[in-house]
Amino acid sequence: MEKSTVNKTLKQSQKLSILIAQGGLSFCITRDETVLKFEEKLFSEPQNPESLLREIKLVFSQSLADTLNGIANVQVFFAHQLYALVPRDYFDTAHLSDYLKFNTHLLSTDELAYDRLIHTAANLVYIPYTNINNFLVEKFGELTYQHAATHFVDQCLENLNANGEIAYINVYRTHFDLCVFSDKELLLCNSYAYFSSEDLVYYALFAFKQLKLSPEKLTLFLGGLIAKDTRLYQLLYAYIKNIILFTDSSPFTIEDTTLKQSASHRYSFFLNSI
* pLDDT band, very low/low/confident/very high, at 132 (cuts 50, 70, 90): very high
The yes-or-no verdict on residue 99 having pLDDT over 90 is: yes
Q: Are 32 and 39 in contact (CB under 8 A)?
A: no
pTM (whole model) above 0.85? yes
Q: Would 3-151+249-273 and 154-245 be classified into the same CATH topology? A: yes
The yes-or-no verdict on residue 251 having pLDDT over 80 is: no
Q: Per the CATH hierarchy, to which homologous superfamily does domain 3-151+249-273 belong?
A: Protein of unknown function DUF3822, N-terminal domain (3.30.420.250)
Percent of the chain with pLDDT over 90: 68
d(CA 135, CA 240): 44
**CB under 8 Å to 107, separation ≥6 — which residues?**
none
Taking only the tens place, the pLDDT of each residue in 133-146 is 999 999 998 899 99
Q: What is the mean pLDDT of residues 84-102?
A: 94
Q: Per the CATH hierarchy, to which homologous superfamily does domain 154-245 belong?
A: Protein of unknown function DUF3822, C-terminal domain (3.30.420.260)
* pLDDT band, very low/low/confident/very high, at 106 (cuts 50, 70, 90): confident
Closest CA to 138 of 39, 21, 56: 56
* pLDDT band, very low/low/confident/very high, at 8 (cuts 50, 70, 90): very low
Better-scored residue on pLDDT, 255 or 153: 153
d(CA 161, CA 184): 8
d(CA 268, CA 237): 21
Dihedral class, residue 212 (left if φ above 0, else alpha if ψ from -120 to 50, else beta): left
Q: What is the mean pLDDT of residues 56-62?
A: 96
* Domain range list for the chain: 3-151+249-273, 154-245
Q: Are 186 and 92 in contact (CB under 8 A)?
A: no
Q: What is the mean pLDDT of residues 101-114?
A: 85
